[in-house]
Amino acid sequence: SVQGGGKPGCPACRMPTLEPGTERRFLLELAKRQVLEKLHLMERPNVTQPVPRLAVTNALRHLHVGQAQRDRQPGPFAPWDGPEADELGYEIISFAKTEFSSPSSMGLRFQFSQGTGQDVHILQAQLWLYVRAPQSGLSPVTLRVSQAGALLSERQLEARAGGWHTVSLLPALQAFFRGQEKTLRLELECRGCQANATAGSDAGSSHQPFLVAKATVRKPGQQVAKR
């Protein structure tokens, strides 16, 4: 029932007839609750380290470029036909923080907050790196990505290879999300590169390395009995 003598609505529907003054306040509160509930969030996230708008724009542009390329050429990632009925599909972009940096190698750290009690299935995972073209321009450039010493990927780039490059991280990220860890650490080594491997190592740069993943999330207990 609504204060102020509003006509009670249909009792079975629990939707009160809203007076104009209360409607706005009621609906804004309802919207907050609805968005948090549908995103399985307990409270609204507080973004303590905002990402530079340019880095966000860059990442979103590459996300869609990557998506368009994948849709055109059936390559390692078949076009994604969307999540099952009892799952929520996500695309995730995670920006790297640099842990250490030397002339030819650096450490990248990605922070995830796996939803409590949700099992995350990674369907696609790529690391995007911006590599500055080597001054010499002669020697080939070799990019190696490792995790805790285990080699994940090694790529030879043409000598004049300045620009964005992708490295697939699918098995590593699937294994990571099966664990309980929330921090993913990668080591990047670049042979034949000048200075540190990627031009975007400092956090404020629009060439910050980032990781793109596609996932489905299912809350436990939501197993649908398939007949």
Partner 1 sequence: SLRCDQTSDLCCRKDYYVDFRDIGWNDWIIKPEGYQINYCMGQCPPHVASSPGMASSSHTAVLNLIRAHNLQPGGQSCCVPTHRRPLSILYFDRNSNILKTDIPDMIVEACGCS
Size of the site for partner 1 (CB under 8 A): 40
CA distances, 108 to each of 21, 35, 67, 152 (Å):
51, 32, 24, 14
Binding flag, residue 38, partner 1 (CB under 8 A): yes
- Residue 80's φ and ψ, nearest 5 degrees, are -85, 120
Radius of gyration in angstroms for the set of CA atoms belonging to the chain, rounded to a whole number: 23
Binding flag, residue 42, partner 1 (CB under 8 A): no
Binding flag, residue 116, partner 1 (CB under 8 A): no
Name the E strands within the chain. 88-95, 97-102, 105-111, 119-131, 141-147, 150-157, 163-168, 183-191, 210-218
Cβ(192)–Cβ(142) under 8 Å? yes
Site string for partner 1, 7-26 (x = CB under 8 A): --xxxxx-x-x-----x---
Cβ(112)–Cβ(179) under 8 Å? no
Shortest distance in whole angstroms from residue 51 CB to partner 1: 5
Site string for partner 1, 53-92 (x = CB under 8 A): ---x--xx---------------------------xxxxx
Of residues 3, 73, 113, 135, which one binds partner 1 by CB under 8 A?
113
Contact positions with partner 1 (CB under 8 A) in 163-202: none
* Contacts with partner 1, residue ranges (CB under 8 A): 9-13, 15, 17, 23, 27-28, 30-32, 34-35, 38-39, 44-51, 56, 59-60, 88-95, 110-113
